[in-house]
Amino acid sequence: MGGSGGGGGIRAVGRRVGVGAAVVGLVAPVVVMAGAGGAAASSTCTTRTGPYQKQVEKFLGRPVDGRQSSGDCKAIRAFQTKHGISPNVGYAGPVTWGVMDLMIKQKAVGKNPNKAGKCPTNKGRIACVNLTLQISWVQDGSSLVYGPVPIRSGRNRYETRTGLKKIYWRDRHHVSNLYNVAMPYSQFFDGGQAFHSISGSVWSPPGSHGCVNMRDSDAAKYWSLLKKGDDVYVYGRKPGT
């Protein structure tokens, strides 16, 4: 069930082991890598000013003048490399800005992720997944237990399915037999789709193969908070799907 670079999948059940989309720009040479493990290193740094130059400069705390500089390029490249955006040439294109914009929206949620009341409050303990904002949290009734935390759901054509589900199988040291990648802290809730941690950035486009990818510390916390039979509610739509 793990995808390339640690993304989730939607088919098959893996084996146990003993131990542990973004929109592609039309004017920029930006190609989104499929994995979550970081962008391939580039030996060049573009001098081109991107269509989202000012927004990206502001996000990175750079002087906001709307003109590409060597300092801008280095800062943008560092961000792209960290979050698996390829090629990491320092271009302020739609993919890079899309990741930044999502981070801004996630931060704005604060500690009230269920403000709109979309996730059921009559189920007791439940794991909620907002695909639109790419966040998840655990609540008990109307009380927030943990989160919200950033997640990485299924990419286009491998969307994480919406609706009310239940955790039906847990495997702390799961390995996908479909993609041959580790899926630590796997908690399966729908036909092979699961919460699990990944080694790369959860903001890496374009997304998983259906699973809900999490940072290791968040996946470990979910493992301690949830159990077989607990409810999971998935709603919204991932940008780019």
- How many CA atoms lie less than 13 Å away from 131 in the CB half-sphere? 26
* Higher-confidence position of 144 and 41: 144
Residue 216 included in any domain:
yes
Residue 194 pLDDT class (50, 70, 90 cuts):
very high
Residues 111, 143: contact at Cβ < 8 Å? no
> Which pLDDT score, from 0 to 100, does residue 42 have?
61
Is the pLDDT confidence value at 138 over 60?
yes
Is the pLDDT confidence value at 224 over 80?
yes
- How many CA atoms lie less than 13 Å away from 197 in the CB half-sphere? 16
CA distances 196 to 89, 113, 114, Å, are 30, 21, 22
Sign of the C-alpha dihedral computed for residues 99, 103, 108 and 114 taken in this order: positive
> Which pLDDT score, from 0 to 100, does residue 171 have?
97
The alpha-helical segments, DSSP class H, found in 132-240 are 216-225
* Domain boundary pick from 67, 88, 107: 107
Is the pLDDT confidence value at 18 over 60?
no
Residues 87 and 163 in one domain: no
CA 195, CA 190: separation in Å to the nearest integer? 10
Domain CATH number, residue 204: 2.40.440.10
19-30 tens-digit pLDDT: 222 222 222 333
Smallest CA-to-CA distance from 111 within 73, 87, 137, 132 is with 137
Is the pLDDT confidence value at 9 over 70?
no
What's the domain count of the chain? Answer: 2
CA 211, CA 151: separation in Å to the nearest integer? 10
CA distances 170 to 15, 104, 198, 203, 228, Å, are 12, 32, 16, 24, 7
Residue 25 included in any domain:
no
CA 192, CA 180: separation in Å to the nearest integer? 14
* Domain boundary pick from 107, 125, 159: 107
CA 139, CA 1: separation in Å to the nearest integer? 26
Average pLDDT of the chain, as a whole number: 86
Residues 168 and 218 in one domain: yes
Amino acid (one-letter) located at 164: L
Is the pLDDT confidence value at 218 over 90?
yes
Amino acid (one-letter) located at 230: D
Which residue range is the domain that position 169 belongs to? 4-19+113-235
Q: How many helices (H) and strands (E) does the chain have?
A: 4, 12
